[in-house]
Amino acid sequence: MALASRAVLGERVYVIDWVALVASLGGMLLCFGSDLTTQGALGNTFGIASGIAFAGFILLMRLERVSRDEDGSSPRGLWYVILGNAVAVVVTLPWMIAHGPATMAAWRMIVLLGTLQIGLPYVLFTIAVARLGAVELMLFAMLEPILNPIWVWLGIGEQPHVRALAGGAIIVAAVTVRDVVQAERARARVASP
């Protein structure tokens, strides 16, 4: 993503960005590395493909924003997200009808989760695309999977493994340090004549 943002978007990638990306990757490996097995090769392959597709999504959303006026007034990115999710619903609907939940309450829960857990975050992420660079967006997106064990712990009481907590702490620290350094750099640019 960092290489593509520089080559395709012309966005500068600083040393602190690389440090944060490498530290975050290390944190992710600490969180999930022990779960990578040859028995789960298909799932791991789909997981990697999903990550690459999401990076492509960010890159294309940033490219669309860069290709239009700077004030970010065009809502095309949001329509792309809505269209993409509508296509996902249409593609998966036959499976859901054949193998989906048996009760109307379960269907309501699926609609609620699809709207609040997927829809709303996509809208907010699309808004962020207009304000943040590609590397910032990718680092921000890395926070989501490390929060999952915490939500599970809060929701059903399943205690996260120490490695997951340590890896999550590394990612949060890397993203925080990177943002503090970039904020100081921005303040210094504004303060200098």
Write out the residue range of the structural domain in which residue 159 sits: 2-72+130-191
**Two tokens at 85?**
């999710």
Domain tally for the chain?
1
| Residue 110 in domain | no
In a domain, 139, yes or no: yes
Quote the strand ranges of the chain, DSSP E: none
Domain assignment present for residue 100? The answer is: no
Q: Is residue 115 part of a domain?
A: no
Specify if 91 maps to a domain.
no
* Cβ(160)–Cβ(145) below 8 Å: no
Lowest mean pLDDT among 42-56, 72-86, 151-165: 72-86
Q: Is the pTM of this model over 0.85?
A: no
Query: Do the domain assignments include residue 83?
Result: no
- pLDDT band of residue 60 (cuts 50, 70, 90) is confident
Tell me whether residue 108 is in a domain. Answer: no
> Is residue 143 situated within a structural domain?
yes
